[in-house]
Amino acid sequence: MAIALETTSDDQRREEIRTLLASGLETEVFPRGDSHDEVQSIIARLKQAGDDLKAKLVIAGFTDHTVEHGGIEQPCETCMYYLVHRRYCELPELDCPVEPEWSCRLWRI
Ligand code: SF4
């Protein structure tokens, strides 16, 4: 039962994100979080955003497609924060369902 509820709420939240991205929400895709300082600065802003989903998507530079940076494709599915079976981003400051082909500038391998 708990698993079913979790799946439903993940699906709803994933759909909410998909709709926001498809509606043309402009997110901060670049610069990518290449350095420790850049990552810390993005993380600090995400913490300030709290539960504001739209702000979090903007700050993290979410896209509904893979972004290539420095010759490397950066989809969620190859990111260290991606939970394959749940299609979920477990980075604490994001903590949200995603799709394997989505991407954000906090991508890490
Ligand atoms: S941190 Fe990784 S898994 Fe999470 S949204 Fe960004 S690219 Fe996807």
User: Tens digits of per-residue pLDDT, 27-46?
Assistant: 999 999 999 999 999 999 99
Per-domain boundaries in the chain:
2-97
CB of 76 sitting under 6 A from ligand 1 = yes
pLDDT band at 2 (very low <50, low <70, confident <90, very high): low
CB of 55 sitting under 6 A from ligand 1 = no
Average pLDDT (77-86) is: 98
Cβ 32 vs Cβ 62: under 8 Å: no
Q: Report how far residue 84's alpha carbon sits from residue 71's, in angstroms, rounded to the nearest whole number.
A: 24
56-78 tens-digit pLDDT: 999 999 999 999 999 999 999 99
pLDDT band at 4 (very low <50, low <70, confident <90, very high): low
Dig out the tokens for 65 from the structure.
């497609």
- The verdict on pTM exceeding 0.85 is yes
Helix (H) or strand (E) holding 83: strand 82-83
Closest to 47 (Cα-Cα) out of 6, 94, 85: 94
CB of 67 sitting under 6 A from ligand 1 = no
Q: What is the structure's pLDDT at 8?
A: 83
Dig out the tokens for 77 from the structure.
């599915």
